[in-house]
Each structure stands twice: as structure tokens, then as C-alpha cells.
A and B are shown apart, each in its own frame.
Chain A
Amino acid sequence: METPTIANSGRKPQSKILIEDLTVCYSDGTESLRQINLAIPENAITVLFGPAGGGKSTLLRTINRLNDLADVVELTGHLYLDGRDVLAKDCDVIALRRNIGMVFARPVVLPMSIRQNLTYSLELAGIHDSTRLNQAVEESLNAAALWEEVQDRLDEPAVKLSGGQQQRLCIARALVLKPEVILLDEPTSGLDPISTGKVESSLQTLKEDYTIVLVPHSVQQAARVADYAAFMLDGRMIEYAEGKLLFTNPKDQRTEDYVEGRFG
């Protein structure tokens, strides 16, 4: 991969995130990233897929600097969001994370009410005006297709929701600060097919307003939702192309083998 542009693409989408020669190593040597180059376009779903241990989560967590919490021993290269290097020393990490929503594999609701799960990040950002908070709660729940189900029980503990509802609450929580980017790390791995369908269809709506980077929980899901897809193996970017091209006509033998289920 010499150029971080998208292969086989007729139009030239605006890239929101530009990754150049990114290398990440952990102290125990697991799931590192080697020389990643990638351009993630705006207002589209970009899927990072591949077998476990390939570095997908690490790449996601590098974008919002959540990897600062991990035991990273080497970090080189550049990661630009709107042209500004996120990995630079002077990057305001808190502002960065407020601009990037994240959803995790298991739904993690905070031990508080449904409403507080959403207002938490707003209050940390210094927003206390109750009209604004209520509005943000309603908007984000609507965007995550959860408002109808919970509008009458906003002050109940969030753990009382079902697994699928909890995960949509987590999506709402990722949206509540009105970020520009949403990172999703296998967001449907613990969900039943119906809840998975709801989450996937809400992603299709959300991409109108957001740049979405998704680690899918299966190749099938990758093929269903990807506008752009990157195949990752052992910390390397093997192939990156538009979704319909990559899944129907992969260039690399390893991509083809994985997509067709010969390993994984």
C-alpha cells in the first residue's frame, strides 16, 4: 500500500481521517499495527474486518486515543482528522474524544438512569441547562431508534433495558455530543438478529450525518453494511476498496480466501 487513496473508485470522496504509516506496538507484543495507510471517507461506513488479533480494535482505539490507556510501547506515523494530527503531542485529547463517539462490543451502560447515561458526557462538557439536556436526550435516542421504547422510563436504571436496547442506548450515548465520527467495535456481537437489524439500519441513516468506522462481527455483516472495506491481517492492511468491489472481486488472494471462508 503506497497511496492512502481508495482503489478502484470512480469518484473522489472527501477523506475525513487520513492514516499514514501508523505503527503501534504493545509491551506484550499482541495485536500490533504495522505501517497502516488508510483514507477514511466522510459520510460513509468504512468497515475494518479480518480475523481476530489483526489489529482492528487497536486501529479504532488509536483514532480516539483510547489506546492511551493501554500499554503501548511504540507509536509512530500520523493520523489526521480533518487535517490535524491526532497523535501530535499538542492534540487536545478530551476535545478529540468529544468529537468521536464510540460503541463497544458488549453494551456497557453506566450504573445510572437511562437519562443520566446520556447527560453524563454533556455535564462533563459543562452543559447543565435542562432544556438543552432534555433536547439532546430525545434527539440522540431518536437517532438510535430507541426513543419510542424508553420515553416513559427515562429515569429508570439503564441496566433494566434488554441487551439490544442497552446497545442502542450506547449508540445514543455516542451521538449525544454531536460528534463527527462514530467508531463501532463489533457493536452487534452480543445481539439477536432482530436487534442487529435495527442497529444496522440505524447506521444507514446515521451515515448521512456522520463518518462511521465499524469493526463488524462477521464477514456477512461487513458485506451488508460496508461502503468501503479494509481487510486486516496480522496488523497489516491487506486490501482496501469500495465494499461492493472488495467483496465481489477481491484483488488479494488472502482477502478472497477470508471472504469466502477458507480461513478465519
Chain B
Amino acid sequence: MTDSASTPSKARPRNTKRRNLIQRLGYMGMILAAAITVAPIILIVVYIYSRGLPAISLEFLSAMPKDGMRAGGIFPAIVGTFWLTIGTGVIAVPLGVGAAIYLSEYAPDNRWTRTIRIAIINLAGIPSVVYGLFGLGLFVLFLHFGTSILAGSLTLAIMTIPVIISTSEEALRAVPNSFRVVSISVGGTRWQTIQRIVLPQALPGILTGVILGLERAAGETAPILFTVASFFLPRLPASIFDATMALPYHLFVISTQVPGMPIKIQYGTAVVLLTFVLIMNGFATVIRSRARARRQW
């Protein structure tokens, strides 16, 4: 780009040149920043998959662990994480979405609701190991649930609820208020308006938040450490009062606690956990983009 072409004033060409240079450097800097944030995720996926994929086989996915977990499969951990995710969802989704509907659609702006909001923000900031300890105290010991899927799901649910509340509330608030006013003005009740107008419009956003919240719960180790996860339990849980193995904790155990562990089993386990999470992420992305294409506002 020449100076005369880029600006009508030729009075200070040097300044223009300098400005263009700064502009270009700034632009490249931002591209670089964006690229650097993408790089780790690509590196992680490539690294984990290249080392772990050789371990994946039908036996690995569907058999019990053998030989002090140094051989065999990780089936009970897969099943355990599956049930924990379902259990967390069953508890956290109705509570989280319900609270979000209350906060977005009903709650007046007063000291009480401001307190609730501050509590939610703080809840989201609590370290996960603290949730684990809390779950141990309340669910495992005080309520006598024992180390069980129930106690683990409850603990994970408490950790997930703030995420679901804030993403759901955001999705509900994104629905234009004029829709609510119109619905009320034609004789709709508040609940009819929520049910027929607001919720359907906010549903994709809510689902995205729910999936992202559950995905985080599925991958957490600390909250399940004291509440449900077993070091080694080569059978499937029979009820919600059973303990179970789970993928994140199993990965921790075989990476640090078991001597002589073949490295490919560790990476194989990581591949399974990562795939589980990526599939959920994929669902969230598909829901979001399809909703965006169909949105009428």
C-alpha cells in the first residue's frame, strides 16, 4: 500500500507509514494470541490419541480390569462415569433450570434475589475438592448414603447447578422481552408465556449449558474421590447405593498409585474419557448451531 493511495493527505507520509505498521503488528499479535489458544487443544488431542488409541480394543472397552488393573479393560469405570453423569443430570437439571426460570422470569430485583445471585457466583468459584469434602460430610456420613452413586451424583450436582443456572438464565434473558409483553397482552398467564414462548426459544441455550455442565461433572476427580469412586472394584454397580469405579479417578489411580502400569493403558483410559467429553461437546455445538440457523429474532 502506498501512502498516496491510502490517505488523501500527503502532508505527513511518515506518520501514516508508522500507523500502518502499528496496525499490522497489532493485527498479527491478535492472530497469534488466537492461534496460541487453539494450539493446546490440538496438541492435547493429538498427543493423547496417538499414544492411547493403540490400547483401545473391544476387550479394553468391555472387560473387567485384571492383574491389578495392569491388563484387561476399564468397563466398570466407563459404566460408573455414565451413571454418575446421568445421576448428576437427573438432580441438577430440574433444580438448575427451575432456579434459572425463577430468577429470570419471576424474581423481583431485591436484596433477597441479589443474595441468591451472589451465592450462585460464589458456589461456582468453590474448588472442586471442597465439594468432595462437603459431600463426604453431608451425604456419605451424615445422611448415611455411604460411598455410593447417590452421594457422588449429589455432590457433582451441587457443583454443576451454578453452571446450569447461569447459562440457563442467560438463555432465558436473551429471549426478547417484547414476546412476553405480547403474550401477556393477549391474555396469557405468566406460566403460559414461559411454557409456550420463552422456554421453547431458550431451550437450545439451556441444553448447551446443561451439556457443558454435565461434561465438566463427568471429568471431575476431586468431588467423587471421597463420595463414590472405588480404587478397584471389578464388578458393576447394582444400585444407586453402590460405590463404583469412574474414569477420572481410575486415570488418577493408574497414573500415580499402581507401580508397573503399562503406559498405554493410562493413555487408553484418557482417550475414552476425552472421547466421552468431546462427544457431549459435539452435541452442544450441533444444538447451538442448528438453533441459531432457525432462530426467528
Residues of A within 8 A of B (CB): 64, 66, 69, 94-95, 97-98, 101-102, 104, 106, 108, 110-112, 120-121, 124-125, 157-159, 173-174, 177
A104 and B181 contacting across the interface, CB-CB below 8 Å: yes
User: When chains A and B are docked, how far (Å) is the Cα of A95 from the Cα of B176?
Assistant: 25
B181 and A98 contacting across the interface, CB-CB below 8 Å: no
Q: Which of A121, A158, A174 contacts B188 (CB 8 A)?
A: A121
Q: List 16 A-B contacts (CB under 8 A).
A: A64-B185, A66-B181, A69-B184, A104-B181, A106-B178, A108-B181, A111-B197, A111-B295, A111-B296, A111-B297, A120-B183, A124-B187, A124-B192, A124-B196, A159-B296, A159-B297
B186 and A97 contacting across the interface, CB-CB below 8 Å: yes
A108 and B178 contacting across the interface, CB-CB below 8 Å: yes
Min Cβ gap B106→A in Å is 12
Please indicate the chain B residues that have their CB under 8 angstroms from the CB of A177 in the complex.
186-187
Please indicate the chain A residues that have their CB under 8 angstroms from the CB of B181 in the complex.
66, 69, 104, 108
B46 within 8 A of A: no
User: When chains A and B are docked, how far (Å) is the Cα of A94 from the Cα of B179?
Assistant: 17
Please indicate the chain B residues that have their CB under 8 angstroms from the CB of A102 in the complex.
185-186
Q: Which residue of B179, B186, B197, B201 has the most chain A CB atoms within 10 A of its CB atom? A: B186
Min Cβ gap A38→B in Å is 21
A66 and B187 contacting across the interface, CB-CB below 8 Å: no
User: When chains A and B are docked, how far (Å) is the Cα of A174 from the Cα of B196?
Assistant: 19
A121 and B187 contacting across the interface, CB-CB below 8 Å: yes
B179 and A124 contacting across the interface, CB-CB below 8 Å: no
Please indicate the chain A residues that have their CB under 8 angstroms from the CB of B178 in the complex.
104, 106, 108
Min Cβ gap B199→A in Å is 12
Q: Which of B186, B196, B295, B296 contacts A173 (CB 8 A)?
A: B186
Going nearest first, the 3 A-B pairs with the smallest beta carbon separation are: A121-B186, A98-B187, A111-B296
Please indicate the chain A residues that have their CB under 8 angstroms from the CB of B188 in the complex.
120-121, 124
Please indicate the chain B residues that have their CB under 8 angstroms from the CB of A111 in the complex.
179, 197, 201, 295-297
Please indicate the chain B residues that have their CB under 8 angstroms from the CB of A159 in the complex.
296-297
User: When chains A and B are docked, how far (Å) is the Cα of A121 from the Cα of B185?
Assistant: 9
Contact with A along B185-204 (1 / 0, CB 8 A): 11111001000110001000
B182 within 8 A of A: yes
B184 and A108 contacting across the interface, CB-CB below 8 Å: no
Please indicate the chain A residues that have their CB under 8 angstroms from the CB of B192 in the complex.
124
User: When chains A and B are docked, how far (Å) is the Cα of A125 from the Cα of B188?
Assistant: 8
User: When chains A and B are docked, how far (Å) is the Cα of A69 from the Cα of B193?
Assistant: 13
Q: Which residue of B180, B192, B296 has the most chain A CB atoms within 10 A of its CB atom? A: B296
